[in-house]
Structure 1
Amino acid sequence: MSDGVTRRGLFKGALGALAATVLPRSLARASGAPSKAGAAAVLVDITRCIGCRACMRGCQRANDLNAPQELMDMEHLSTRLEPSFLQWTVVNREGGGDAPTRQVKRQCMHCLEPACVSVCPVAALDQTDQGPVIYRESRCIGCRYCMIACPFEVPRFEWNNGLTPVIGKCQFCAQQRLFKGLPPGCVEACPTGALKFGRRDDLLFEAKSRLRSRPDVYVDHVYGEEEVGGTSWMYISDVPFEKLGFKQHLPKRPLPTLTWDVVSWIPGIVAVLASLFGVLAFSLSRKNPHGTPEDKS
């Protein structure tokens, strides 16, 4: 192959590496999210949660997860649980001290403009037209950018299997139930009405109606209405959210533009390394089998 062809191949390879790493990120950053007024959503009324963890069992059944079932039995309700690769939602007693204790359910908040989607370099995380942020294990390369970007610390890595670099998170039961017109498994399992499924705009209207009708009970704030641009899971409570461990001081504007500022240097480094390896390969190809420069005569 001639020098010209080889050089063209080298330059095309370098540009291809640059495009493959930088352009997807630029497109993800610029695409934004469509209007989510009618997105699938859940309203959580903390005043109605009794901590039975039936929602956790419903999640396990709907998604065929194999988290320890004994931790969801009545005698273990005081045991504090953390989300894990196989346990996508948890309920724990929060508060105490100078505030009343309450049972609080946690899971992926399904942001309207998710930071995790914007930083994933292989589109393993995606947002459906209905709103849920879903994860495709087959695409994941285990980079864990999503774990860094998530303001709610939701994605959980599978640390026990180094050969399978995947994460676990609530899928909103999108494939199993939502796309079939069914509510999420956790919502269906809740015996007290603490979880209500519906359109986001309808649930937001109901949340504010409850706050107006019972100002003596509820804190005047719908958590998730504006945090990080809004989320599909929203909460109302009779105890200040900061007393229940909810993330505070989150920006109202969506996070993808902020996370881009943090991780945007990574694709550039990958592109530079790809170019350097291309130059090295080209240089080595110019040597003959004895390690001396080719005879140009």
Structure 2
Amino acid sequence: MSSRRDFLKGALAATGAMVGAGATPVQARDTYTRPPEAMGLLYDATLCVGCKACMAACKEANNNPPEFNTVDKLWDTPLDTSGHTFNIIKMYRNGTMLEKDAEINGYAFMKTSCMHCADPSCVSACPVSAMTKDPVTGIVGYNPDKCIGCRYCVVACPFGIPKYQFDDPLGRIGKCELCRHRHKDGHYSACAEVCPTGATLFGRTEDLLAEAKRRLALKPGTVAKFPRGRLRPATEKMLQGQADGKGEKRRHGWRDEPDQIYEGTVGKYVQHVYGEKEYGGTQVLKLSAVPFEKVGMPDLPPYSSAATSETIQHTLYGGLLMPIAVLGALSWVAKRNVKPDDGEEG
């Protein structure tokens, strides 16, 4: 016990000496914001019917195997996101479960997948840049060729999204990347493409936020029109591309297709767009009639912990402050505990 106490005293003394010698404290940086053209999803739980077509489409688009949690193994039955399940629909249940989207004696659905944070902790925590955030689309991507399997991203994410594929001998992480590998072929997120009611909608995050607020302003119980698939304003710039030498527009990537419309009943929304401010903002936004904390969404501050953690790291390791302090403490403890030989004078 005394050795541990001596070590801590030495570390504090060495650190104090370094600070006193003129170490410059690092100021906390601001939380990063979403890129102007950030792409994302809007999930409206009141429109979700729990068909799980989005889950099946996600599996197919990402070549992920089924996961079985039943004895018969007749179909894909994951209980949560995993290294092979990037998107899942969970269910809130209360009492008699007679009314959809009712907090009491009702039930509701909630989509769980990567939120594509404006300032993602997984990217900040990754020591080898295997996790990256696209500066234009804002999509949080993963490069398995760089990954060393440390799983810092797993620990860092406040939503518990990146998952380790323990059955892979190379050690890979699995997570939603908004189907970015399909964009070059004119497709967008598979979960939004197949959603029959528009509960999952793809588009530019700012357009999705405007659509979410439009829905919050609608009168509950009335019939309204909801866009399906993707929002046209969200992809218009990408459709047009850059002007060529002839003054024409090169149309590439995203498919030029008419907007799809679903007519449904307006729900009794909680007057809040989840993801607008949480954790500094996310590119996946959510609407619900049941309080978000009851459908599994964490209550997070309006700033990312990445800004705080990076500040701490830079403070401790800037100018080799912490390594020198620890080395000094170890040297102090070692010298204190060295006993002179019998032939040496005390």
State TM-score, norm by structure 2: 0.62
**2:149 pairs with one of 126, 142, 145:** 142
Structure 1, residues 27-46: CA drift from partner, whole Å, max 9, x if none? Answer: xx969746523211111010
Q: Contact 2:29–2:311 at 8 Å: present in 1 too?
A: no
Match of 2:308 in 1: 258
Query: Deviation at 1:165?
Result: 2.4
Structure 1, residues 142-172: CA drift from partner, whole Å, max 9, x if none? Answer: 11111111110111112234x4222111111
Match of 1:92 in 2: 90
Match of 2:124 in 1: 118
**SS at 2:141 equivalent:** strand
The unaligned stretches of length 5 or more in structure 1 are 1-25, 277-297
Paired with 2:121 and 2:69, the residues of 1 have a C-alpha distance of 34
Higher-Rg member (1/2): 2
**SS at 1:218 equivalent:** coil
**1:95/1:267 Cα in 2 relative to 1: closer, same or farther (>3 Å)?**
farther
Match for 1:114: what amino acid? P
**SS at 1:85 equivalent:** coil
Match of 2:56 in 1: 57
Paired with 2:65 and 2:290, the residues of 1 have a C-alpha distance of 33
1:1-297 aligned within 5 A:
33=32, 35-68=34-67, 81-97=79-95, 99=104, 100-128=106-134, 129-161=136-168, 163-174=169-180, 176-214=181-219, 217-248=268-299, 250-260=300-310, 272=323
Identity of aligned residues (%): 39
**SS at 2:43 equivalent:** strand
Q: Contact 1:95–1:102 at 8 Å: present in 2 too?
A: yes
Of 214-223 and 239-248, the range deviating more from structure 2? 214-223
Query: Deviation at 1:70?
Result: 8.9
Q: Contact 1:110–1:232 at 8 Å: present in 2 too?
A: yes
Q: Contact 1:157–1:166 at 8 Å: present in 2 too?
A: yes
State TM-score, norm by structure 1: 0.72
Paired with 1:145 and 1:183, the residues of 2 have a C-alpha distance of 29
Match for 1:183: what amino acid? Y
Query: Deviation at 1:272?
Result: 4.7
* TM superposition outliers: structure 1 runs of 4+ over 6 Å: 29-32, 265-269
**SS at 1:87 equivalent:** coil
Paired with 2:82 and 2:316, the residues of 1 have a C-alpha distance of 27
**SS at 1:48 equivalent:** coil
Q: Contact 1:80–1:92 at 8 Å: present in 2 too?
A: no
Q: Contact 2:123–2:131 at 8 Å: present in 1 too?
A: yes
Match of 1:5 in 2: none
| Matched pairs, number | 243
**1:234/1:85 Cα in 2 relative to 1: closer, same or farther (>3 Å)?**
same
Q: Contact 2:66–2:75 at 8 Å: present in 1 too?
A: no
Query: Deviation at 1:67?
Result: 2.5
CA RMSD of aligned residues (A): 3.2
Paired with 1:223 and 1:159, the residues of 2 have a C-alpha distance of 32
Match for 1:258: what amino acid? T
Match for 1:64: what amino acid? N
Paired with 1:151 and 1:127, the residues of 2 have a C-alpha distance of 17
Structure 1, residues 8-41: CA drift from partner, whole Å, max 9, x if none? Answer: xxxxxxxxxxxxxxxxxx9xx9697465232111
Greater helix share, structure number? 1
Q: Contact 2:68–2:78 at 8 Å: present in 1 too?
A: no
Match of 2:244 in 1: none
Query: Deviation at 1:69?
Result: 7.5
Paired with 1:177 and 1:237, the residues of 2 have a C-alpha distance of 29
Match for 2:302: what amino acid? K
Of 83-92 and 29-38, the range deviating more from structure 2? 29-38
**1:31/1:117 Cα in 2 relative to 1: closer, same or farther (>3 Å)?**
farther
